[in-house]
Amino acid sequence: MEEGPEFAALRRGLLELLVLASVEHKVRYAAEIVAALRGVNFPVQEGTAYPLLNKMRREGLVDHEWRESSSGPPRKYLSLTAAGQQRLAEYRKYWQKLTNMIERIGQ
Amino acid sequence: MSAENHVQMRLTGHQAPFSLTPAAHEELVRYLAGAREGLAGDPDGDESVRDLEASVGDKLASFCGSAVSEGQMRSTLRQFGSVVGGPGGPGTNGADVSAPKWCRVLDGKWLAGVCLGVSATTEASIVWVRIMCVAVTLLAGALLSAFSVYVTLVFLGLVVLVYLTLTLLLPPVESVAEYRQLHARRYSVGQ
């Protein structure tokens, strides 16, 4: 999905929501999160995602756990904290509100 | 390329060093330095750079061959993209440093935009700046003609020379609006 720059601001706002959603049901490490987002056609780059992940950890939305890897260095697997779960629920609710707004405005 | 020409580089978390061509090594060093700079104001900046470094290592480990080439490094780093920090990141710091105080303004210029630049910096009206420039030049020329017409000609030549020098020295800015934007931070902090 290669949208034009006019969608860049909307995309930026969605990034945190999608990152939270990507670790809702299973733990993932940073590269897997980026791969998951690209997997659903959301364009994101490591250079943007990695600093955001650390910021979210600092804010207590995600937590990490080190796990050995068979092919390389140990990896930080991220999972949602209670605060992260709450934030994700709030984001979804807000997104719903925005969608309703878009539908109602023209009527 | 013989093996002696390869650079061995260690990346965070990876036990074995990576073998890179000198050009690929330079690309990676530059990328990581840019990342560090971009995250200078970020409390987790160092950690993010380490994470990126380890992840670059994962990608490089998947390449076969004796050493990572410049092309492989370029495409990997292009995929990673430039490193963007939170507030206090690169964009905000960079604007302050790169915003020139004196400049030429291109949008709405008559000659090279020197007067517009002066008007943008001093916040004086552009009409006033232009009138003053022309008036001072003509008045000085008229006064100097009391000595000799040649003195006036030399003076006018000097004025043209000064204008051309300013054209070369002053950095161009697209428009007055852009100039204000570049300096918005400075104004809000300084006043």
Kindly give the pairing relationship between strand B7-9 and strand B18-20.
antiparallel
CB contact set of A39 (below 8 Å; sequence gap of 6+): none
Q: Is A72 in Cβ contact with B61 (below 8 Å)?
A: yes
| pLDDT given for residue B96 in this prediction | 41
Is the Cα dihedral A11, B28, A62, A34 positive or negative? positive
How many helices, marked H, and strands, marked E, lie in chain A?
A: 4, 3
Q: Which residue of A has its CA nearest to B89?
A: A51
Q: Do A47 and B57 touch (CB under 8 A)?
A: no
Q: Quick one: which H or E segment has residue A105?
A: helix A82-105
Q: In the prediction, which pLDDT does B95 show?
A: 38
Tell me if B62 sits within 8 A of B108, measured CB to CB: no
Residue closest to A62 by CA, chosen among A70, A73, A53, A50: A53
Which structure tokens are listed for B42?
A: 């970020």
What angle in degrees, to the nearest 10, is found between the helix axes of B22-38 and B45-61?
Answer: 150
Q: Closest partner residue to B44 among A47, A55, A76, by Cβ?
A: A55
Determine how β-strand A75-80 pairs with β-strand B18-20: unpaired
Please give the average per-residue pLDDT across B99-105, as a whole number: 81
pLDDT at B94: 37
User: Which pLDDT score is estimated for A13?
Assistant: 87
Task: Please give the pLDDT value at position B74.
Answer: 92
Q: Which residue has the higher pLDDT, B129 or B187?
A: B129
Decide: pTM greater than 0.95: no
How does pLDDT run across B137-151, given as a tens digit for each residue? Answer: 989 988 888 888 888
The pLDDT value given to residue B168: 87
pLDDT over 70 (residue B99): no
Q: Decide if A54 and B47 are in contact by the 8 Å CB cutoff.
A: yes
Please name the residue of chain A whose CA is at the shortest distance from the CA of residue B35: A47
Radius of gyration of chain A (CA): 15
> What confidence tens digit (pLDDT) does each residue in B37-52 have?
989 888 999 999 999 9
Structure confidence at residue B98 as a pLDDT band (50, 70, 90): low
E strand or H helix at A86, and its extent? helix A82-105
Question: pLDDT of chain A along its 107 residues, tens only?
Answer: 556 778 888 888 899 999 999 999 999 999 999 999 999 999 899 999 999 999 999 999 999 999 998 888 899 999 999 999 999 999 999 999 999 999 999 88
Identity of the residue in B39, B45, B55 whose CB atom sits nearest the CB atom of A30: B55
What contacts B103, CB < 8 A, 6 or more positions away? B117, B120, B121, B170, B171, B172, B173, B179
Whether residue B39 and residue A51 make contact (CB cut-off 8 A), yes or no, is yes
Percent of chain B with pLDDT over 90: 36
**Mean pLDDT of all residues in B21-41:** 92
Distance CA A90, CA B176 (A): 42
Nearest to B34, CA basis, from B87, B118, B93, B106: B93
| CB atoms near residue B130 (< 10 Å) | 15
Question: Can you give the pLDDT at residue B54?
Answer: 94
Query: Using H for helix, E for strand and C for coil, what is the string for B17-69?
Result: CEEECHHHHHHHHHHHHHHHHHCCCCCCHHHHHHHHHHHHHHHHHCCCCCCEC
Mean pLDDT for B49-74 is 90
